[in-house]
Chains A and B, each alone.
Chain A
Amino acid sequence: MNSTLETPSNLLTKNDPNWLIERRSKGLEQFEKLATPTVRDENWRFSRVGKMRTDGYNQLEEADTSRFDLLNERSNLISQRAGRSVFVDDATSIFEGVGTKLAQQGVIFLPILEAITQHSDLMEKYFLQESTELGSQKFFGLHAASVKAGSVIYVPKGVEVIDPIVNYYWTSGECVAVFPHTLIIAEDNAKVSVVDLFFSENVSNEALNISASNIHAGPGAKVFRKIVQNWNQETVSFQLDTTVAERDAQVKNIAVNIGANRARFESQTRIEGAGADVKMYSLTVAEKNQEFDQRTFQTHNANNAVSDLLYKNALLDKSRSIFSGLIKVAEGAQQTDAYQTNRNLLLDPRAEANALPGLEILANDVRCSHGATTGNVDEEELFYIMQRGISRRVAMQLMVFGFFEEIIDLIDNEELAENVRKLIHHKFDAKLS
């Protein structure tokens, strides 16, 4: 069987401009040359790297179009939106562009490959230019070599897109590999919100995901990105996300992680302009043998900026989580406020949460803090709730959902928040007894 990992489809390069051909071959070289990670690598501490099977999957040249209608219909978590894309096994299933008004204002919302054809200069400037530095460089290389699905959102100076742009990335076939990409470019004082949803058609199709996203928030831009990852538990997933924030930009990232057997999440934030403000929130609900492996990097290269990270994990059964976060404040990035918090709620004595917070500060006038807590459900809180007549089971539910609510509350879209609650509650319904 041809493995995608060895021979990315030649079809991809057929219409590619030279700059992209170069980036793809560089990516392939990177994938082939770099060693497979081991736990001895600091970036892979505590990871079950042995379980990180990446061979035996194939990127489909053509997806099974008979699945499209059904999956388009199921791509319905947000009804009020500025645009929607649905990809199935890396093929475009439906693409609803932004309306005429936004298009006339210069907003671009296109599938990656079309954007490369129509806006080659823009794409040359931004596409595949930000790679992860957090351990998955090898896999980012494969992503660069293979990416053909995903969406590009470009919002020009001063333009505000009020409703969210929504991307659904589905897997459907057996042993498929997908390489979705979301690229968000917001120019000066532009405003946009994007939702990426990662779903599997059913509970049993095995899949490999190596997705990447890049947010480029120009001066004064406001970008709000929400991610819901609900792959089935036969999926191995790498999400390699980067954010670059320029002067006075405001970026908010919220990730809700529910699915995958093994989910590696690398999130890198680089602050390049004074006064920028970047928030990173994450909520993970783990069960069975799931492993959520989260690595984050907040870099402050400019003064007077804020970055704030809060990652919350709730762990059931024998599930595991790893949180490793680094804040780096460059020399001269004075008046930095950088925070990093990881909270883990262990709901089973067999569950395991690993936390590795870190700071590297080269400026002398900063406010930075990092902290991690790991604990069980508080028995005194449980007693208090039960004293009101609420059963142990419902009391546990209230407390656990309360733990989630701090993040869900920030989603700021009641329909999506409610859909996220349903997904999580569904996962918990049978568990809390």
Chain B
Amino acid sequence: MNNTLEIKNLNVSIDGQAILKDFSLSIPKGEVHALMGPNGTGKSTLAKVMAGHEDYTVESGDILLDGDSILGQEPDVISHAGLFLAFQYPMEIPGVSIANFIRAARQSRLPEGEQIKAVEYYKDLYAKMDALKIDRSFTARSLNEGFSGGEKKRCEVLQMSMLDPKYCVMDETDSGLDIDALRVVADGVNLMRNQARAFLVITHYQRLLDYIVPDVVHVMYDGRIVHSGDKDLAKELEVKGYDWVKEEFTDAIVGA
């Protein structure tokens, strides 16, 4: 299907242990979907598998971007196909400055032989850094090295906005953020929302969804989506807690 991120009956294991179990999800462009669930239910695995991490074994199923399968592709190919993953734990890369890193990422999207125009690049970079309240001196700093949790997450959103992806997967972007940083990050994401882009926002807590208001909320448990609803589902979950999910849906899973 065009203009959609589709995950079809995905079964994924690591070291013989099943993690995603017949997982299916479809997100059309223009929508923001939230994926919530208790720890250890497979949310981060899903994010990494989508981005092409090689540690996981895909037993069956498919992941399609605009109708084309990205399964089994290298991470850089998946990135070029339009999927961006904002990491839960962004890696520190010593000696590689933010400016050079994003520049290399942009350069990789240009045809062979074509060079980035430095003046335009920096103009764009600075504008986006200003919007995310990242000090301009950060451009020369090593990527994520010695950054606070909040700085790392803002830097993820900066990269996301610089690379202009069609599908954004955000893995626990709210973890480690204080309320001010959360607002800044959410503002950055909200600025990027449009009809040509879809978001999958993975989070453990409802809090982030006060600022990034989702169109659809899915509840994940034991490797699959057990319940979906509108933004109010997140609030319901906040009140009732994940124990409610376990009680409500364990039977359904056992019966399945």
Contacts and interface: CB of A to CB of B under 8 A. Distances in A.
Interface stretch (B89-97, B193-201, B243-251): B89-97
Nearest to B81: A389
A187 B51 CA distance: 60
Contacts of A388: 76, 79, 101-102, 104-105, 108, 159, 163
Interface string A370-394: 0000000010110111111111101
A318 B216 CA distance: 55
For chain B, the bracket of interface size reads 20 to 34
Contacts of A384: 87, 90-91, 93
Contact of B91 (A381, A392, A405): A381
A383 to B, nearest CB: 6
B142 A398 contact: no
Contacts of A409: 95
B75 interface: yes
Given A380-B91, A387-B51, A392 B96 contact: no
B93 A399 contact: yes
B211 to A, nearest CB: 24
DSSP class of A's interface residues: helix, strand, loop or mixed? helix
A406 B94 contact: yes
B94 A403 contact: yes
Contact of B108 (A381, A390, A402, A404): A390
A389 B96 contact: no
Contacts of A44: none
Name which of B79, B104, B142 has the most chain A CB atoms within 10 A of its CB: B104
Contacts of B87: 384, 387
A399 B94 CA distance: 8
A342 to B, nearest CB: 16
A398 B76 contact: no
A385 B93 CA distance: 9
Contacts of A399: 93, 96
Contacts of B80: 389
Contacts of B102: 388
Nearest to B87: A384
B95 A386 contact: no
B231 interface: no
Interface of B: 51-54, 74-76, 78-80, 84-85, 87, 90-91, 93-96, 100-102, 104-105, 108-109, 142, 159, 163
Given A384-B87, A385-B93, A403-B95, 13 more contacts: A384-B91, A384-B93, A387-B52, A388-B105, A389-B76, A390-B76, A390-B105, A390-B108, A391-B76, A399-B93, A402-B96, A405-B142, A406-B95
10 cross-chain pairs, A with B, having the tightest CB-CB distances, nearest first: A402-B95, A405-B95, A389-B79, A386-B75, A388-B105, A384-B91, A402-B96, A389-B108, A386-B76, A381-B91
30 contacts: A378-B91, A381-B93, A383-B53, A383-B75, A384-B87, A384-B91, A385-B93, A385-B101, A386-B76, A386-B79, A387-B76, A387-B79, A387-B84, A387-B87, A388-B76, A388-B104, A388-B105, A389-B80, A390-B76, A390-B108, A392-B74, A395-B76, A398-B93, A401-B96, A402-B93, A402-B94, A403-B95, A404-B95, A405-B95, A405-B142
Interface of A: 378, 380-381, 383-392, 394-395, 398-399, 401-406, 409
